[in-house]
Amino acid sequence: MIRSSICIFSMIILIPVLAMSTVKLPQPEKILLENGLGVYFFKNSELPLVSFRLLIKGAGSAFEPRGMDGLSNFTADMLLKGTRTMDAEAIAEALDFMGARLSISTTEEYAMASGECLSEHLPTLFQIAADCLISPAFKEDEYKRELARKIDTLKAVKDNPGRALRLYFQKAYFGDHPFSHISLGTDSSLKKMALDDLKKFYKARFRPDAAIMAVVGDVDKEKLIEILKSTFGQWPKPSTPVPVSTIPPVPVPRGKKLIFVDKPDATQSYFALGAPGYPVGDKISASASLMNTLWGGRFTSWLNTELRIKRGLTYGAGSNFQSWKIGGVFTASSYTKNDQIGEMLDITFDLLKKAKIKGFSSEEIDSARNYILGQFPPTLETNGSKANAYLRLIFYGLGFDYYDNYLGEISRAKPEEIKRAAAKLLPESNFLLVLVGKRDEAKKHLEKYGQFQEKKITDPDF
């Protein structure tokens, strides 16, 4: 019944698909500051708000020394904990007083400062943000406080099986590769770390000649330049060369790797299944997105349909591709009662096989196309999302017309390309499977998968 009605709709929709209007990312203006910091600016006066993003290449977790998980993120946290002119409380008070938002965090590849405020407060927000980036105090007492909080947060994470699963997965998938570094840190890395390590990391990697900035919102260009000059423009460019920021290739699982993490009070078992993906900007991107949308990327995907909609095994099931400059990962995950986890995995593997062998119908592919095209405009709706997009495109060297081309490829991708993407990217015999759940209830349902390496949630690290 369902399938037949879909066929009828596909005929009706054919013309709207091709004519579907979308948004273009507006071209920003570039302002180059004397210290080498490039600022991309787009004016939007619709609301009295301004957002900024500042990306620092090479300051992400992949550049931490081995065993120093969390160093980059800890460094970023400390930037907001006091400068030469303001202590941590003064910074918090000034930001809260304006109702402004400012955060500094790190991903694997870079550090990112993000902020937004009412336009009238922009000079103050920039002054604080620049001060934090240029002259952090790295005070011992703030470091100790933050360290204690991180150690405790690690414990709290292990009380939440879904969150814990992601970290166990990351460690197991990447092994010795620097993408295994957990941004929160681990019990052993936090023990080893010292304030000096943070200072060193900051000194080497937080620098204007490795940074790019984007500003979007209600401010005039002349006014913006004036504010920038007295704030981020004062960030001195070091005389030392920018450190090398290459990352080794992402590891590829060979054979099956199975891990079970026992959490005796869990009433559900959570799984994550991983295999290699593709790097940002790869030519497979469009067909892989279409394929993933259909297999596990949206509510009516195969995976969610079989696990949730048809069988009621779970509240949610999904898959996604995460991509970096040098590679990517495919992940599928869900959760169910401990004694149903075997059934859930069987269905998941059957669906992987089915997609690789049969691919998807042209009706399904039209639906995925419409979905990706239709869901795109809101992703560039806010000042912050535009600023993000600018920096992402520059960082990955994609050009400001990237989205137009990508959406064009989405419109044109052929069924056989999508089938090829499934055959190439969906796992079959080489994968990592990690579970967190109650071992005693789940174990007998998992025997056919082979020998699991067993861990206890209460053991230190991941």
Asked if residue 59 lies in contact with residue 106, where contact means CB atoms within 8 angstroms, the answer is yes
CB-based contacts of 181, cutoff 8 Å, min separation 6: 61, 62, 64, 68, 69, 70, 72, 108
Q: Stretches 67-75, 239-247, 253-261, 335-343: which one binds another protein (CB under 8 A)? A: 335-343
> Rounded to the nearest whole angstrom, what is the least distance from the CB of residue 94 to another protein in the complex?
5
> Rounded to the nearest whole angstrom, what is the least distance from the CB of residue 315 to another protein in the complex?
4
> Rounded to the nearest whole angstrom, what is the least distance from the CB of residue 188 to another protein in the complex?
15
- 148, 203, 283, 440: which one binds another protein (CB under 8 A): 148
Torsion of CA 408, 318, 253, 107, to 10 degrees: 70
Q: Is 137 in the site for another protein (CB under 8 A)?
A: no
> How many Å apart are CA 143 and CA 164, to the nearest integer?
25
End-to-end CA distance of the chain: 47
DSSP of 358-374, one letter per residue?
H---HHHHHHHHHHHHH
DSSP of 45-79, one letter per residue?
-SSSEEEEEEEEET-SGGGSPTT-TTHHHHHHHHH
Q: Is 95 in the site for another protein (CB under 8 A)?
A: yes
Binding track over 23-52 against another protein, x by CB under 8 A: x----------------------xxxx---
Q: Retrieve residue 129's tokens.
A: 């943000």
CB-based contacts of 353, cutoff 8 Å, min separation 6: 428
Q: Is 370 in the site for another protein (CB under 8 A)?
A: yes
- 156, 339, 399, 405: which one binds another protein (CB under 8 A): 156
Q: Stretches 198-206, 229-237, 271-279, 308-316: which one binds another protein (CB under 8 A)? A: 308-316
> Rounded to the nearest whole angstrom, what is the least distance from the CB of residue 92 to another protein in the complex?
4
Q: Is 98 in the site for another protein (CB under 8 A)?
A: yes
- 152, 416, 440, 447: which one binds another protein (CB under 8 A): 152
> How many Å apart are CA 55 and CA 113, to the nearest integer?
7
Only one residue has tokens 């939440």, namely: 160
Closer to another protein by Cβ: residue 97 or 229: 97
Would the CA dihedral through 379, 382, 386, 391 be positive or negative? negative
Which 113-132 positions form the footprint of another protein (CB under 8 A)?
Answer: 116-118, 120-121, 124
Q: Stretches 34-42, 68-76, 107-115, 378-386: which one binds another protein (CB under 8 A)? A: 378-386
Q: Is 230 in the site for another protein (CB under 8 A)?
A: no
Closer to another protein by Cβ: residue 29 or 89: 89
Binding track over 283-302 against another protein, x by CB under 8 A: ---------------xxx--
Q: How many CB atoms lie within 10 A of CB 368?
A: 25
Q: Retrieve residue 2's tokens.
A: 């369902």
Which 193-222 positions form the footprint of another protein (CB under 8 A)?
Answer: none
Closer to another protein by Cβ: residue 28 or 276: 28
